[in-house]
Structure 1
Amino acid sequence: MLFDNHGRPITYLRLAVTDKCNLRCFYCMPEEGLDWLSRAELMSYEEMLRVCRVMVNMGIGKIRITGGEPFVRKDIMQLLTAIAGLDGLNELNITTNGVLTAPYVPELKKIGVRSVNLSLDTLDANRFFTITRRDEFSNVIAAMEAMLHHDMEVKINAVVMDGKNTQDILPLVELTKNLPVSVRFIEEMPFNGDGHVYDGLHWDYVRILDEIKAKYPQIKKLDDPANSTAYNYHIPGHKGSIGIIAAYSRTFCGTCNRIRITPQGQLKTCLYDDGVLNVRDLLRAGTEDDKLQNILRDAFKHRPKDGREAERARIAKTGIHESMATIGG
């Protein structure tokens, strides 16, 4: 197994396959989008597959494909099928906004993808348009229905934003009454990509839970799985469950088992760091697998203790206003 310098096991890779997205969620990127990476700047599928193979051989057992939006990248199923076939990989999951996902669901199920994180911040079509700046609500709901029809585990990720969608907290909770979904409420983070100053967190994990408890005082705490980023809950009589992710408060750093690779190959050992090395460049320089493993192990031995430490170092160097689309979620 892999361990970092704080004794935490590293078993989970989040691989962003593109920075492009077909939505323009205001908390993630500016309305006009970003300066998208060129094809040459992106890691190729061959490079991504090689990195995944090396890391699985080192002890990574779970890979999540993120973006941007993964399904805007051409021929994405070729990569997913290849990664799913890696010896030693226990779990391959995907995070998607759902806009293009529904037609792929049967094939995802066939290659062994059991769980999908679906980004959905509201159940109101008008608010969906306001938040995402795109009229795609019906396609997202169709994707959710397709996943449930094929008995996939569906986790709905909703970023809670003051003055934007707090009225959706309870309707989203209500989804868990009749559907076997996990609705996870996420604290807003300062990764909007437009450089404006983040004015602080108005809805932290405590306030979100209090909002739910006011309507559902019978809500019960569940045991959280090892390395869980969410505090998990269940309302008696409901088919699904609820999670609250303290992404900005960073209460889960002490058990963090995940690392990230951005679309251009930057290895991030913490969501809040500035990237510690470029894996793409190492591959293109002809680095052999054994040497790459040693370089990665060394990077893991210099991991920040938590997101606060990583954030301080990043602010001192470059600021923190990168888009979540370029980080990879």
Structure 2
Amino acid sequence: MVEDAQKGIPVSDMLRDSFGRLHTYLRISLSERCNLRCQYCMPADGVELTPSPDLLSKDEIVRLANLFVNCGVNKIRLTGGEPTIRRDLDEICLQLSEMKGLKTLAITTNGLTLARKLPKLKESGLTAVNISLDTLVPAKFEFMTRRRGHEKVIESINAAVELGYDPVKVNCVVMRGFNDDEICDFVELTREKPINIRFIEFMPFDGNVWNVKKLVPYSEMMETVVKKYSDLERFKNDPFDTAKNFRIKGHRGTVSFITSMTEHFCASCNRLRILADGNLKVCLFGSAEVSLRDPMRSGADDSELMDIIGRAVKTKKAAHAGMFDIANTANRPMIRIGG
């Protein structure tokens, strides 16, 4: 263990890559399954899911998370598929939240069943909520997700606000010809409530039929917002924040832009991912993965797992490829990576 000079916290060299980036943020996918079929996430003909016995168990998730937290990770985000479909989600949250050194336990969810589950999740230590919603029009929601449930997602956003989550983050993937005409409608959600609208550039993954013509770049989104909200003011980001954050005078909430395609933030990336099948992925857009499940099930001790993780982290590249190269690179569908 060494001490990070900037933060003054003990961290393991396992979490530092060859470019000096310290990885203190771990995203854990709890499931490859989902109760929606979003077009930009799941291929139209579905995906071949990993058999249940090959997915990480609760105990395996907790063991790996504890290893990462002991080495310096202070933020964990639970993703999917859809994490709320795991029956043991409450227990996972409770055990993770009790880990010494973990400051933030977050979830990214489609919000379909969150409203009724959130009180118990909050009791179990969940400290932050991201809810995905790409349209405020129910008919367009059904078209994009291939399912009904728009009103349930809105209910979950309101439930999170009422339970005191501040901010409640709402992720919106902006796609030309689908929801780019709703940008200012989403911004209006921030007027009275502590909602952080996060506009995300459309990203290519296997099976989502990515096309640059569907991409609405950050510069264009900003232009749309500024035309209506001229007092948009940027505020200081956390050094590791993926978003460009803004506030509008008189609005309780905030507006953010995630610019993965046109202005990447690789130089400050501090994220690692454990997929539902136990593979470690050091870059969202990279195809390289290494299994932690297999050595763990073969009897590897913590020091051996740390060695595997450390070697994988050291292979992380300085930056991901450009968007056209990403579109032509084999990768998993987003549902099998985790949001």
Same-fold call, TM > 0.5? Answer: yes
CA distances 1:115-169 after superposition (whole Å, capped 9, x unpaired): 1000011111111111111110111111111111110131000000011111111
Q: Does 2:215 match 1:175?
A: no
Q: Separation in 1 of the partners of 2:187 and 2:45? A: 32
How far does residue 30 in structure 1 lie from its aligned partner after superposition?
A: 2.3
**Shift of residue 114, structure 1, vs aligned partner:** 2.0
Give the TM-score normalised by structure 1. 0.94
Q: Which residue of 2 aligns with 1:159?
A: 173
1:85 aligned to which of 86, 93, 98: 98
TM-score (norm 2): 0.91
Q: 1:320 — aligned with what? A: 330
Between 1:170-179 and 1:99-108, the stretch displaced more is 99-108
**Structure 2 CA distance for aligned equivalents of residues 218 and 239 of structure 1:** 14
| Percent of residue pairs identical | 37
2:163 equivalent in structure 1: 150
Cα separation, 2, equivalents of 1:138 and 1:287 = 47
Counterpart-to-counterpart distance in 1, 2:139 and 2:327: 37
Deviation of 1:203 (Å): 0.6
Match of 2:114 in 1: 101
Tell me the distance in 1 between the aligned counterparts of 2:82 and 2:191: 29
Q: What SS class does the counterpart of residue 307 from structure 1 fall into? A: coil
Q: 1:188 aligns with which of 164, 182, 202?
A: 202
| 1:308 alignment partner, SS class | coil
Checking the alignment, whether the CA contact within 8 Å between 1:273 and 1:314 is kept in structure 2 is no
Please list every run of 5 or more consecutive structure 1 residues that lacks an aligned counterpart in the other structure: none
Are 2:277 and 1:302 equivalent residues in the alignment? no
Q: Does structure 1 retain, via aligned residues, the 8 Å contact 2:261–2:323?
A: no
Q: Superposition pairs for residues 241-320 of structure 1, below 5 Å?
A: 241-308=254-321, 319-320=329-330
Q: Quote the Cα distance in structure 2 between the aligned partners of 1:131 and 1:226.
A: 34
In structure 2, the CA distance between the partners of 1:177 and 1:164, relative to structure 1 (3 Å rule), is: same
Q: How far apart, CA to CA, are the structure 1 residues paired with 2:138 and 2:325?
A: 38
The correspondence of residues 25-104 of structure 1 with structure 2, limited to 5 A, is: 25-104=38-117
Give secondary structure in 2 for the equivalent of 1:19.
Answer: coil
Distance of 1:255 and 1:310 partners within structure 2 = 19
Q: Aligned AA for 2:330? A: I
Amino acid at match of 2:241: S
Matched residue type, 2:66: R
Q: Work out whether residues 65 and 94 of structure 1, in 8 Å CA contact, stay in contact via their aligned partners in 2.
A: yes
Deviation at 1:248, TM superposition (A): 2.0
Task: Give the letter for the 1:16 counterpart.
Answer: S
Q: What is the CA–CA distance in structure 1 between the aligned matches of 2:58 and 2:233, rounded to whole Å?
A: 43
Q: Tell me, yes or no, if the aligned pair for 1:158 and 1:184 is still in contact at 8 Å.
A: yes
User: Which amino acid is the alignment partner of residue 187 of structure 1?
Assistant: E
Q: How many residues are aligned here?
A: 325
CA RMSD of aligned residues (A): 1.9
Shift of 1:206: 1.0
